[in-house]
Amino acid sequence: MADKKRAFDVTTLPGFTAIAITAFVLLYAPIITLVFYSFNGGNSVNQWGGFSLQWYVVAWNNEAVQDATARSLIIAVWAAVISTALATMAALGTTRRGKFKGQTVIYIIINQPLMVPEIVTAVALLIFFSSVKIATGYSGLGYLILAHSAFCIPFAYLPIKARLEGMDTAMETAAADLYATPWQTFRYVTLPLLLPGVIAGAMLAFIISLDNVIITEFVKSAGQDTLPTYMLGQLRRALTPEVNAISTALLALTVLILTVFFIVTKKRD
């Protein structure tokens, strides 16, 4: 040992800290590079041409990007609202009531989108919705909203369930003791206490919907690109820092939402 007098630290394992630091550097270096080149004044993604916001301006004025962004946001808001509402109900139905028959079945169905490979779900929805499209003649954003709402449910469900499990049932008992009807108990006691979980769930659902590529790619009809599928299409062409600019904007939005998420979930601990 180099330093004989150093205290023996039981949590130290040889080389672990070095590998961990390397892992963090490797995780962040590509993202930082990507963000860096979004401010490139030149035309290339790898030749630095001075600091400039020109690619943000290009992206902002690009009609396809505008459309895709609007579509992404519409779908994400709908998906977040629907999935959070349904997940809240399901969490209330499956938590703090003791075990009941078929509970495991409910868990499996709710968490199924986390287990099945996305490509399989995407293919399944492609087959199913293409027949429905032919049968009904409707080919609007409804399919995407429906699909996004479905796979967002488990992401909204988890924080809400965790929040519920941490809540004391004595609160509701006390409310009932003080003459509150079941509805009043829910409205004035359960829901306010549950709110941080619901907000956290909605934020996760929003991010998950906003980021989705594969299912969107398979379900969308012609001309229904979202921001990620638009970018996927762009990657096949000659790259300009415009993609970096769009990526950076999306990244900033994600970090912002996550920060709020952490503050919301931390504050009540």
Partner 1 sequence: MTKQIAIDARNVGKIYGVGVHAVTALGDVSIAIEQGEFFTLLGPSGCGKTTLLRCIAGFETPTSGSIHLSGRDITYTPPNERPVNTVFQSYALFPHLSVADNIGFGLKMQGKPAKEVKAAVERVLALVKLEDFAKRLPQQLSGGQQQRVALARALAPQPEVLLLDEPLSALDLKLRKEMQSELKRLQTETGITFIFVTHDQEEALTMSDRIAVMSAGELLQVGTPHDIYDRPVNRFVADFIGETNFVEGTVEGSAVRIGTGDLLDVTLDGHSGGVTLAVRPEQVSLRADGSGIAAQIVAATYLGTDTHYTLELGDKSLLVARIQSNSAGGMRVGDAVGLHIDAGAVQVLSA
Partner 2 sequence: MSGRSKGLNGWLLSSPALILLLLAASGPLLIVAVYSVLEKGDYSGVRWILSGDGWFNVLFQRDIFDQTVSLADANLSIFWRSVKLSIATTLITFAFGLPTAWFIATRPPKSRALWLFLITIPFWTNLLIRTFAIMEVIRNQGILNTFLTWTGLISEPIQILYTDTAVLIGMVYVYLPLMVLPLYAAIDRFDFRLIEAGYDLYASRWQVLRGVILPIIRPGIVAGSILVFIPSLGAYVTPRVLGGGKNMMIGNFIELQFGQGQNWPLGAALSTVLLLVVLISLVVYTRVTSKDDPRG
Q: In angstroms, what is the minimal distance from the CB of 139 to partner 1?
A: 57
Q: Which residue has the tokens 């996550």?
A: 258
Q: What's the angle, vertex CA 145, arms to CA 144 and CA 149, rounded to 5?
A: 115
**Rounded distance, CA 247 to CA 224, Å?**
19
24 contacts partner 2 (rule: CB under 8 A): yes
Can you tell me which of 76, 110, 194, 205 binds partner 2, judged by CB under 8 A?
110
171 contacts partner 2 (rule: CB under 8 A): no
Q: In angstroms, what is the minimal distance from the CB of 20 to partner 1?
A: 23
Total site size for partner 2, rule CB under 8 A = 90
Contact partner at residue 7 from partner 2, partner 1, none, CB < 5 to 8 Å by partner kind: partner 1
**Rounded distance, CA 10 to CA 221, Å?**
58
Q: In angstroms, what is the minimal distance from the CB of 17 to partner 1?
A: 18
Nearest residue to 168 (alpha-carbon basis) of 190, 140, 146, 192: 190
221 contacts partner 2 (rule: CB under 8 A): no
Q: In angstroms, what is the minimal distance from the CB of 77 to partner 2?
A: 17
**Rounded distance, CA 121 to CA 18, Å?**
40
Q: Answer whether 224's CB lies under 8 Å from 71's CB.
A: yes
**Stretch in the footprint of partner 2 (CB under 8 A) among 13-21, 61-69, 160-168, 187-195:** 13-21
262 contacts partner 2 (rule: CB under 8 A): yes
Contact partner at residue 78 from partner 2, partner 1, none, CB < 5 to 8 Å by partner kind: none
Give the CA-trace dihedral at 99, 200, 231, 138, to 10 degrees: 60
75 contacts partner 2 (rule: CB under 8 A): no
